[in-house]
Amino acid sequence: MINTDDITGLILAGGRGSRMGGVDKGLQNHLGMPLAMHALLRLGQQVGHLMINANRNLGAYESMGVPVWPDAVSDFPGPLAGFLAGLERSETPYLVTVPCDTPNFPPDLVQRLAAALEAEDADLAMAATMEPDEGSADGTLKVQVQPVFCLMKTSLMESLVAFTQSGQRKIDVWTAQHRCATVVFDNAAAFANANTPEELRRLQG
């Protein structure tokens, strides 16, 4: 069994927040706390170590009490830059990522990803939900991967360095290079994320 103490949890807060008007999304207030703090408290119940990946307002993130690491690569190349910062800095055999804009992610996220990774002898495990298949008229559901909810072996660092250095940035292209487990969570609403001010308001009921 994977021990929680062998897992570092990484909050991904390094994006541009362009759909929210370019604000630093992790610092936006949600029910009295910054969004990133919600993620930190929720993930803190599930892992032994925590860190934040952010590229702006580093002092504000540092005041949340865990190490903060910016992307090593500049120019906001996407979430994989956050994965890389986490892999470079974590001192445990496993790293799990969650985005800062999804405050209600499942409390058993890490436990289920870890169980699947072990059971399938995989290198990575990603969350997924069942979502309406837009190509079909009869309400068929299809598996929608949630790739920023990802548990991975930290030994994947060299692979990700090579991948990003070759100029690639798509998560699914990188994860497809490795043995990957997928865990479907029934509660799709738990993965509702705030990309726009309106979506953030909706999460506040």
Ligand X SMILES: Nc1nc2c(ncn2[C@@H]2O[C@H](COP(=O)(O)OP(=O)(O)OP(=O)(O)O)[C@@H](O)[C@H]2O)c(=O)[nH]1
Cα(169)–Cα(6) distance, rounded to whole angstroms? Answer: 27
Q: Which of 53, 92, 146, 154 binds ligand X (CB under 6 A)?
A: 53
Amino acid letter at 28? Q
Window contacting ligand X (CB under 6 A); options: 16-24, 104-112, 154-162, 171-179: 16-24
Cα(130)–Cα(53) distance, rounded to whole angstroms? Answer: 28
By DSSP bridging, strand 49-54 and strand 7-13 are: parallel
71 is in an annotated binding site: yes
Q: Which of 7, 8, 9, 25 binds ligand X (CB under 6 A)?
A: 25
Amino acid letter at 12? L
Give 167's contacts (C-beta < 8 A, 6+ positions apart). none
Binding to ligand X by residue 101, rule CB under 6 A?
yes
Binding to ligand X by residue 56, rule CB under 6 A?
no
Binding to Mg ion by residue 193, rule CB under 5 A?
yes
| Rounded CA Rg of the chain | 16
Per-residue tokens: 130: 């069942």
153 is in an annotated binding site: no
Which residues belong to the annotated binding site for Mg(2+)? 101
Which residues belong to the annotated binding site for GTP? 12-14, 25, 53, 71, 101
Interacting residues toward ligand X by CB under 6 A: 12-19, 25, 53, 71, 76-79, 81-82, 99-101, 148, 193, 195
